[in-house]
């Protein structure tokens, strides 16, 4: 499994937990049947756990930079994708921001819409360029 597929699995799990109110254990069923290495599974779970544990912090940042968009009104896929990408940008130092943003755009186009790709790109790019949020990277 590639990191792209791992991100897909993580997004699907976050979506299930947000929309379906599924537990982490229930969402992990998404991984069943996938050819996934222990390293890839670790990456998926790091993204899911990290994102879920930082929701308030991530949502505050997204709300600040998503002009005229309240996070509660965003498409669920877009919201969860923004959260996951922002978590990755702040806390996973080994991944360049440009890679995270490009992956997020591709996932938005695949799971949401062409317009979502532009929406996700605009918000993440603006946060990357203007926000102090990412300056406190661990």
pLDDT digits (tens, 9 = 90+) for 79-129: 999 999 999 999 999 999 999 999 999 999 999 988 999 999 999 999 999
pTM of the model as a whole: 0.91
- What is the rounded radius of gyration, in angstroms, for the C-alpha atoms of the chain? 14
Q: What is the pLDDT of residues 10-46, one digit of tens each?
A: 999 999 999 988 888 888 877 766 677 888 889 999 9
Query: Do residues 22 and 99 lie in contact, with contact meaning Cβ atoms separated by under 8 Å?
Result: no
Give the integer Cα–Cα distance in Å for 66 and 68: 6
Q: What is the pLDDT of residues 53-77, one digit of tens each?
A: 999 999 999 999 998 888 888 999 9
CA–CA distances in Å: residue 99 to residues 7, 48, 64, 85, 103: 12, 18, 23, 10, 6
Query: What is the sign, positive or negative, of the torsion defined by CA atoms of 25, 27, 32, 35?
Result: negative
């Amino acid at each position: 499994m590639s990191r792209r597929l791992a991100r897909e699995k993580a997004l699907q799990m976050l979506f299930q937990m947000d929309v379906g109110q599924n537990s982490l254990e229930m969402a992990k069923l998404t991984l069943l049947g996938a050819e996934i290495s222990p390293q890839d599974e670790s990456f998926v779970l790091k993204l899911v756990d990290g994102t879920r544990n930082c929701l308030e912090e991530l949502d505050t940042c997204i709300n600040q930079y998503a002009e005229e968009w309240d996070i509660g009104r965003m498409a669920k896929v877009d919201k969860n994708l923004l959260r996951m990408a922002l978590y990755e940008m702040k806390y996973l130092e080994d991944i360049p921001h440009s890679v995270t943003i490009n992956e997020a755009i591709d996932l938005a186009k695949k799971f949401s819409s062409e317009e979502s790709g532009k929406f996700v790109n605009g918000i993440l790019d603006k946060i990357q360029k203007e926000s102090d949020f990412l300056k406190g990277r661990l």
